[in-house]
Chains A and B, each alone.
Chain A
Amino acid sequence: KQEVTQIPAALSVPEGENLVLNCSFTDSAIYNLQWFRQDPGKGLTSLLLIQSSQREQTSGRLNASLDKSSGRSTLYIAASQPGDSATYLCAVITYQAGTALIFGKGTTLSVSS
């Protein structure tokens, strides 16, 4: 059974810092991995999707990498801003579960000005 773990559960940084969020998964048989952002009381906003054949994806100040063989992904946020404060979730789609996203519990990021 696929398990997705995100460490740390919470992270506080001052504005301007570069930071890395980690995601690990136990079953490497995945179709893709997706990073989301969730603001309090809101739904999820898709940030980046990495296909299983890709190594990384970039969007603005965000860069996500994927190492399928080791079951790891990282989300790199450059020059963090207070507006980046949110919970970041990673999720995978696996061969076994089909169309269901399997989520980690998330990392809650707080960026102080």
Chain B
Amino acid sequence: KAGVTQTPRYLIKTRGQQVTLSCSPISGHRSVSWYQQTPGQGLQFLFEYFSETQRNKGNFPGRFSGRQFSNSRSEMNVSTLELGDSALYLCASSLEGSLNQPQHFGDGTRLSIL
């Protein structure tokens, strides 16, 4: 069974631009969560989608948004990029989004802002 796939693996953008990251969950998984990982703050929760609906949201500004499609694939968008948005963005999927199921992570998208 294929794992969680994130594309692209690497991105370089400049301040003020916008970016879209993609995540394909494990087949059959309906919940997709997004996390930001930086050396200073560690891993922080961005949001979770389940059945095309945002079910939970972390403490990030409105520049960070996402969506989920009917096939459970998810995209994350960041507008008006800032230098501090440089990070590894990780996507995780789980079967039903149940609170008692493990989350499975992709290898992430490394975003660098110049």
Contacts and interface: CB of A to CB of B under 8 A. Distances in A.
A109 B100 CA distance: 27
The prevalent SS among residues of A at the interface is strand
The prevalent SS among residues of B at the interface is strand
A35 to B, nearest CB: 10
Interface of A: 31-32, 34, 36, 41-46, 49, 51, 89, 91, 93, 97-106
A99 B56 contact: yes
Interface of B: 4, 6, 31, 33, 35, 42-45, 48, 50, 55-56, 58, 90, 92, 97, 99-108, 110
A98 B105 contact: no
B104 A46 contact: yes
B45 to A, nearest CB: 4
A44 B33 CA distance: 13
Contacts of A101: 33, 35, 43, 45, 92, 103
7 contacts: A36-B105, A46-B105, A93-B99, A99-B55, A101-B35, A103-B42, A103-B44
B1 to A, nearest CB: 14
A89 B43 contact: yes
A99 B100 contact: no
